[in-house]
Amino acid sequence: MKTPSNGDSVAADTDAGVLLKKGQVATRARVSERTISNWQARRIIPFVKISPRCVRYSWPAVQRALDKLTVKEVTA
């Protein structure tokens, strides 16, 4: 597992109990931090509010939430 210089881990799904910061989730989902904020505000992804300014995310829970939004292929 490679760790970028800013400390964000892009790696594996083996960290089920680890809570991630917004930037780490954005990196894994390949979206901006603003998108993560929007998804959080719209309650699309689950989050843990530790304090008013401290929010964390469980990557497996975020993945499950995003998988529910996946549109299946339509066959004719």
Digitized pLDDT (tens) for each residue of the chain, 76 residues in all: 444 555 555 555 466 789 999 999 999 999 999 999 999 999 999 999 999 999 999 999 999 999 999 998 888 7
- Return the pLDDT at 3: 47
The domain in which residue 49 lies consists of 19-68
Domain membership of residue 39 (yes or no) is yes
Domain total in the chain: 1
**Sheet strand arrangement including 19-20:** 19-20, 54-58, 48-51
Domain membership of residue 8 (yes or no) is no
Domain membership of residue 5 (yes or no) is no
pTM across the whole model? 0.74
